[in-house]
Amino acid sequence: CRMDSTKGYIHVYTGNGKGKTTAAFGLAVRALCAGKSVYIGQFVKSMRYNETKIGQLFDQVKIEQLGRGCFIGKDPEAIDIRMARDGLTRCAALLESGEYDVVILDELTIALHFGLLTIDAVLDALNRRHPAVEVVVTGRYAPQELIDAADLVTEMREIKHYYTQGVLSRDGIDR
């Protein structure tokens, strides 16, 4: 059994199933409980999700919204592109500095899918990161180039979901 706790790895949680952000936040809590610091940048989410309150529970975590948190269509507005690119610039600097042990780029693949970011810019940020930084990228539609760059890829696949029974998003469970 080879242990290498000094090297950071790239995780990608993708697919059409529920649980990508939940898995990333689970990893964040585990890291925080081990005394590590965590940065969470959310690319297309708003502060209305309960997980954003994690900063009230742990001092070693910072969470930021890097977009307007609204639906992005096939023709994104200039403000959404600018906010995503500014967000990636901020995240790239944090990745490179090694200021945080774990960096979560939540819904980054959605920003890629809708053309807010380029895969080249994302890969450049990942390639320039401090070698000890663990990175988690979440969201549907992970491009093959990102999958190829990752060390761990998990695909969440919906098999059955209570939304199809008319159950809406529940506070503390789904949001």
Q: Mind listing the pLDDT tens digit for each residue in 10-25?
A: 999 999 999 999 999 9
pLDDT digits (tens, 9 = 90+) for 51-107: 777 888 888 999 999 988 766 667 888 999 999 999 999 999 999 999 999 999 999
Residue 13: both structure tokens together: 């949680």
d(Cα 37, Cα 134) in Å, to the nearest integer? Answer: 11
Q: What span, in angstroms and rounded, lies between the C-alpha atoms of 7 and 131?
A: 6
Does pLDDT of 2 surpass 60?
no
The answer to whether the predicted template modeling score (pTM) of the entire model surpasses 0.85 is yes
CATH ID of 10-165, from 1.10.1060.10, 3.40.190.10, 3.40.50.300, 3.30.300.160: 3.40.50.300
pLDDT band at 172 (very low <50, low <70, confident <90, very high): confident
